[in-house]
Structure 1
């Protein structure tokens, strides 16, 4: 079987899930960004716009990339991969900048734990960077590893985006804080089912991501509210 046939084989799940996740991402921002921006009811800094542009562009490019593989346009898929690397290179520093800016704003407002949500920002950026970097390394080596690592990178953008809706639900702590990432993790279960149908077994990346991310996302809210983290975070983010 050629590399192109390997890439196309099983690509339906990734193209379909990409469309679903992208739609949910876009639907996560009307109240917090799109409507206030259109009506002028809230002002946004240039950082907000740049961060949002890079974020939406990467998700949109991911959708295009999965569609290209699905239709067999592997060469164009690889050429556009350079744009994905450039966007990822923008997302990481912009994400860190946004995390620092948000923490400073919360601190200025006198919020008791201004660095609580900074943990989520830091972990999401770290996991995205790790998964994306590893995926690039595997792009010409192991296609099945590459596509699943890219999927994991996407999920670490989806969880924070969908939190705009999940945090509005009347859920008690820690469920309200862990629910966005656990919803994203549910897509790993869907990927595991796909692996079983397509391959007869769950892929190592799928298993590893589920075993690491799901348990961590369940305890993450407790760490974020802990005294240890809130004492350590200011120095990590340059406020020490």
Structure 2
């Protein structure tokens, strides 16, 4: 009988992929945030600064956490986990607040569909919240589930960040809208290869994330532009 290989406790995959994700996230914001902030060419509200601080803080902490596990410092990893929980707890209301504020700005500017991109914001918030909350629950129960759920949470932040570059490309609808998240989802295939190499099978979290997120992200542009969503969204976001 063939025995299943045990998971590698200090797996390099999550540490390396965390650095890759963090690097791509940081490189996604020079034109829309860092340079305008440094030059004073654009004014940002306090809400945007707080949202960005929590966002970058969580990504930075994710890099540190995966590195700690890689080097075997599990005790400090667990202690810093509380900071990750606190940041995630701040990111959810900040993300929703930012989504509402952005919709109000688009509505005031006279956009035809001011709530179109609100769907992306809502999906991102819900997916991150589920992955993060479930990952916290699994932290002391099933470590391999915890690792992959945190990876999914990180991917969910990478997609929206990467959209800053993708939206500048001359891509037609719906590719311009779905491509940022689909690029992020492509890293799930790398995770699947890692699963096969380390545990001998594709992990249920990897399979579930691919089966749910890829179709969802492909359908988002069509739902976002639909009459049904744009009729429902104003009430959903408190614009009565």
Asked whether the two chains share a fold, i.e. TM above 0.5, the reply is: yes
Which TM bucket (shorter chain)?
over 0.9
Which residue does the alignment assign to 1:19?
19
Q: 1:12 to 1:23 in 2, by over 3 A?
A: same
1:3 matched to which residue of 2? none
Aligned residue in 2 for 1:142: 142
User: Residue 54 of structure 1: CA displacement?
Assistant: 0.3
| Larger RCO: 1 or 2 (CA < 8 Å, sep 6+) | 2
- Are residue 234 (structure 1) and residue 200 (structure 2) matched? no
Corresponding residue of 2:3: none
- Note if contact 2:10-2:69 (Cα within 8 Å) is conserved in structure 1: no
Matches within 5 A, 1:25-64: 25-64=25-64
Asked whether the equivalents of residues 58 and 88 of structure 1 are also in contact (C-alpha less than 8 Å), the reply is yes
- 3-state DSSP of counterpart to 2:238: coil
Query: Matched residues in 2 for 1:63 and 1:20: separation?
Result: 9
* 2:182 is aligned with 1:182: yes
Superposed structure 1 runs of 4+ greater than 3 Å apart: none
TM value normalised by structure 1: 0.96
Q: For the residues of structure 2 that align with 1:67 and 1:8, how far apart are their CA atoms?
A: 14
Q: Which runs of 5+ in 2 are unaligned?
A: 1-5
Hey, what's the Cα distance between the residues in 2 that align with 1:191 and 1:213?
14
Taking structure 2 as the reference length, what is the TM-score of the superposition? 0.96
The C-alpha deviation readout for 1:124-180, integer Å capped at 9, x for no partner, is 000000000000000000000000000001111100001000111110000000000
**Contact between 1:10 and 1:198, CA under 8 Å: does it hold in 2?**
no
> Aligned partners of 2:199 and 2:116: how far apart in 1?
41
Q: Which residue of 2 aligns with 1:222?
A: 222
CA distance in 2, matches of 1:96, 1:214: 23
Q: CA RMSD in A?
A: 1.0
Which residue of the partner structure matches residue 165 of structure 2?
A: 165
Name structure 1 gaps, 5 residues minimum.
Answer: 1-5
Paired residue total: 235
